[in-house]
């Protein structure tokens, strides 16, 4: 089986770059390289991953400055041509700032940083990022963010729902959606969102932190494995 090439982008302030690289290269055994934010070269990768962290310190607004980095102009073009892009946590925030996904992030509803395992329910198992999972299945994956409270105006939410763009929702362990399980207060309990074309996914939970039993869960691997299976 030909091994894929994943490109993990490093912005100044990225701090899940090595974790994502490790999950892809050492756990999933995929060919993985780093991409440097100042360059314009995507090095022919099959899938671009925007990792978590605090790009540019997140000082202005989470993900806002990273969206202007040289490499992101290439990533945008790549995405518009149908290339696979996965944004995790800060990477999701960058995708929102880039306009590749609709909506924005607000502060968590309790106004505190939240680091904990959550459960997310698979809402759409027909995407290239989730087809190895089953609709209704719950995945145990950690979150770690301050701004993960997804927000979009009602007409956008209606559009997202109509297009079946919600891939993951926060739920309890049994898959029930309720306010308590929606820890950060996201609209529609949205934890993961795909673009209309189906090639760009943003998610707040960290699948790379749930790829080994030793770390408490390997539920996150299904996302990487979905991408790998589809591209093979």
Partner 1 sequence: MIDKKIIEEYNLTQEEYEKIVELIGREPNITELGIFSLMWSEHCSYKSSKIHLKKFPVRGKNVIQGPGENAGIIDIGDGLAAVFKIESHNHPSYIEPYQGAATGIGGILRDIFTMGARPIALLDSLRFGPLSKSKNKSIMEGVISGIAGYGNSIGVPTVGGDIYFNNCYSLNPLVNVFALGIAEKDKIFYAKAEGIGNPVLYVGSKTGRDGIHGATMASAEFDQNSEEKRPNVQVGDPFKEKLLVEACLEVMAKDIIVGIQDMGAAGLTCSTTEMAANSGAGIEINLDHVPQREEGMTPYEMMLSESQERMLIVAKKDKFKEVQKIFSKWDLEAVIIGHVTEGGRLKVKFEGEIVVDLPVDAIVNLCPVYNRERKAPSYLKSETLLPPLPQPKNYNQTLLKLLSSATIAEKEWVYRQYDHTVQVNTAFLPGADASVLRIKNTKKALALTLDGNSLYSYLNPRTGGKIAVAEACRNLACVGARPVGVTNCLNFGNPEKPEIMWQFKEVVEGVAQACRAFDIPVTGGNVSFYNDTEGISIYPSPVIGVVGIVDDVSKAVSPGFKEEGDSVVLLGENKEELGGSEYLKCVFNMEKGIPPQIDLKEEKRIQEFCLEAISLDLVESAHDISEGGLSISLVECSLLSRRKIGIRLHLQDDMRRDALLFGETQSRIVVSSSSQKLQKLLNLAEKRKVKASVLGKTAGNRIILYHFNKKIIDVPVDEAHKAWKEAIPDIFRIK
Minimum gap (Å) between residue 6 Cβ and partner 1: 16
Closest distance of CB 34 from partner 1, Å: 12
Q: Taking the complex as a whole, how short is the minimal distance between the CB of residue 152 and partner 1, in angstroms? A: 26
Residues that bind partner 1 (CB under 8 A): 12-13, 15-16, 18-19, 22-23, 26, 52-54, 56-59, 112-116, 142, 144, 146, 206, 208-209, 211-212, 214-216
Q: Give the Cβ contact number of residue 63 at 10 Å.
A: 29
Give phi and psi for 10, each to the nearest 5: -110, 115
Please state the φ and ψ torsions of residue 59, each to the nearest 5 degrees.
Answer: -70, -35
Q: Is-catalytic flag, 47?
A: no
Smaller CB distance to partner 1: residue 54 or 168? Answer: 54
Name the token pair of 65.
Answer: 């400055």
A 10 A CB-CB count for 193 gives 27
Q: Between 146 and 151, name the residue whose CB sits nearer to partner 1.
A: 146
User: In terms of Cα–Cα distance, which of 13, 52, 8 is closest to 30?
Assistant: 8
Count CB atoms within 10 A of the CB of residue 184: 25
89 is an active site residue: yes
- Looking at the Cβ atoms of 41 and 77, the one nearer to partner 1 is 41
- CB of residue 62 to partner 1, shortest distance in Å: 11
Residue reference for tokens 């109509």: 162
β-bridge partners, 36: 10
Q: Which of 37, 47, 89, 97 is catalytic?
A: 89
Annotated catalytic residues are 89, 206, 208
């Amino acid at each position: 089986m030909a091994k894929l090439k994943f490109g993990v982008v490093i912005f100044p302030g990225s701090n899940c770059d090595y974790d994502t690289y490790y999950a892809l290269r050492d756990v999933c055994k995929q060919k993985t390289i780093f991409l440097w934010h100042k360059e314009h070269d995507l090095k022919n990768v099959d899938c671009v991953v925007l990792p978590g962290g605090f790009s540019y310190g997140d000082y202005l607004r989470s993900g806002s400055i990273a969206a202007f980095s040289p490499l992101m102009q290439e990533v945008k073009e790549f995405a518009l041509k149908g290339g696979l892009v996965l944004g995790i946590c800060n990477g999701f925030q960058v995708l929102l700032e880039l306009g590749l996904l609709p909506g924005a992030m607000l502060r968590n509803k309790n106004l505190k940083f939240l680091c904990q395992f959550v459960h997310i329910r698979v809402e759409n198992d027909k995407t290239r990022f989730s087809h190895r999972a089953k609709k209704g299945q719950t995945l145990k994956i950690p979150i770690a963010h301050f701004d993960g409270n997804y927000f979009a105006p009602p007409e956008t939410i209606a559009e997202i729902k109509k297009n079946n763009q919600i891939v993951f929702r926060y739920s309890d362990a049994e898959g029930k959606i309720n306010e308590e399980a929606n820890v950060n207060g996201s609209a529609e309990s949205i934890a993961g969102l795909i673009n209309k074309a189906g090639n760009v996914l943003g998610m707040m939970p960290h699948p790379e932190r749930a790829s080994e039993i030793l770390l408490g869960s390997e539920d996150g691997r299904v996302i990487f494995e979905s991408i790998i299976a589809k591209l093979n």
